[in-house]
Amino acid sequence: MTEIRASVAECLPHENPVERPDYTEAEIAALRANWMGQANPRQQKMAFEYLIRAFGTHDLSFRPTDPYLTAFAEGRRHAGTTLVWMLKAAPTRIDPDKAAIRMIGGRSEEQG
């Protein structure tokens, strides 16, 4: 059963991949702050770390008793591996050194 845990270390994968993952209050606050566009850097990282864990990205997909649960777990894990790939390895046409410069009113923050 899904529960609110005191720490991330207590949030263990469930045997049944259909069951929602456990979470902490801080993770939910981080996800909600991201959704509203108000997350600080720590909350932004926490939200992505939660999603990667919630997708079972680093868990074993195989469920020996049920091929359908294996397929479901692998589909969920695929979403997580895709997210990690996009964050770390997906090619882009944007110069990585310029990708982080935010535009404000048609001018970049770097220009003042």
pLDDT in tens, 60-69: 999 999 999 9
pLDDT in tens, 7-47: 999 998 888 999 999 999 999 999 999 999 999 999 999 99
What is the band of 93 on the pLDDT scale with cuts at 50, 70, 90? Answer: confident
Each domain of the chain, given as residue ranges in start order, spans 4-108
Name the amino acid, one letter, at 32: R
- Specify the pTM: 0.79
Residue 73's nearest CA partner among 82, 81, 63, 83 is 63
Q: What pLDDT is recorded for position 107?
A: 56
Contact between 60 and 17 (Cβ < 8 Å): no
Beta strands in 1-112 (DSSP E): 4-5, 23-24, 103-104, 107-108
